[in-house]
Amino acid sequence: MVGIPTALHIAFVWIPAIATILLSFTNWNGFKLSGMKWVGLRNYRQLLTVFEKDFYEALFNNFWVLLFLFVVATPIGILVAYLLDKNLKGTAIYQSLLYFPVVLSLAVVGFIWKSVIYSPRQGLLNTALGRTGEGNQIDWLGDSDIIIPFFGGYGLSKNFLALIAPMIWQHVGYVMVLYLAGLKSADPALQEAGSIDGATGAGRVSFLGDRCRG
């Protein structure tokens, strides 16, 4: 039961990952193995010299994505999981709606946000702001002005922040499911014991942690 999943994990995750690292030291068109040529660190030197601007832009963009997913999406997902754990009326519906973006492909998510949310003429945001008129529209995906500057002329642009929003939309549901599963797996007797002791919501969480560690 352990061997088969382990073998699949190694075959489809670790071997391709290691092969990717090794291929980064070669010059290869991806077709014939005989055409593979070892070039050492040449690709990395080109990345840091010829493509320097593109490299640092991509590096900072990844930094912004990780920052917003950690600072914004993760706390929201935890909060939603905490609220849904209280067995509110219609909890199953809320869970389905919040998790729905997770199962959508990136292409579908991009189409939804570009056509429904960010469309300059008929998008939800511009309609809500009353900015759908000619000459009064906001181009959410076309405005590359920097709103959070960084050194060297790099920073967070308005259109990249607009791209991060759909990622947060997807990530919230994923975090919600993980934490909700953890909350549901906790022994209800521990929460009842915390309630009897007069603990509030935050106190019961602390109480659960103490009992689990004990």
42 with 113, same domain: the answer is: no
**Domain count across the chain:** 2
17 and 110 fall within a common domain: no
Query: Residues 43, 55: one domain?
Result: no
CB 150 within 8 A of CB 60: yes
Strand 146-149, strand 155-157: pairing? antiparallel
Q: Crossing angle of helices 91-103/158-185, nearest 10°?
A: 130
Q: Both 57 and 161 in a single domain?
A: yes
What is the span of the domain harbouring residue 33? 1-50
pLDDT per residue of the chain (214 residues) written in tens, 0 to 9 = 778 889 999 999 999 999 999 999 999 888 888 889 999 999 999 988 888 888 888 888 999 999 999 999 999 999 999 888 887 788 888 888 889 999 988 889 999 999 999 998 889 999 998 888 887 888 999 888 888 887 777 889 999 999 999 999 999 999 999 888 888 777 777 767 767 777 665 554 554 445 444 4
Q: For residues 164 and 113, what is the distance between their CA atoms, to the nearest angstrom?
A: 11
CATH number at residue 149: 1.10.3720.10
**Alpha-carbon distance 178 to 102, whole Å?**
12
CA 181 to CA 200: how far, in whole Å? 21
